[in-house]
């Protein structure tokens, strides 16, 4: 994705596609977890089955966008 974004003038748009992609993956994982949990009310589990996936998504977004910021900062310093 990094190389594709460098080729387009609006490359930042490709980087923002990460957010909906991660959200769709989180919802898909939630559906899989809910299909295996015997509790019909997901609220009774206090979100415990999906919390690790949610925190992994947050970590991925934080690492990705901080790396993107570092890349942009190094580009601006090189100029």
Torsion angle, alpha carbons of 54, 29, 23, 8, to 10: 110
Q: Where are the domains of the chain?
A: 23-78
- What are the pLDDT digits (tens) for 7-53? 777 677 777 888 898 899 888 887 887 777 776 665 666 667 677 88
Q: In the predicted model, is pLDDT for residue 66 greater than 70?
A: yes
3-state helix, strand, coil in the chain (%, to 5): 80, 0, 20
Could you identify the residue written with the tokens 């594709």? 4
């Amino acid at each position: 994705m990094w190389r594709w974004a460098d080729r387009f003038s609006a490359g930042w748009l490709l980087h923002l596609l990460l957010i909906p992609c991660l959200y769709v993956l989180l919802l898909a994982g939630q559906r899989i977890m809910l299909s295996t949990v015997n509790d019909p009310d997901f609220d009774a589990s206090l979100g415990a089955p999906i919390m690790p996936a949610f925190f992994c998504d947050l970590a991925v977004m934080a690492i990705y966008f901080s790396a993107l910021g570092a890349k942009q900062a190094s580009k601006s310093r090189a100029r």
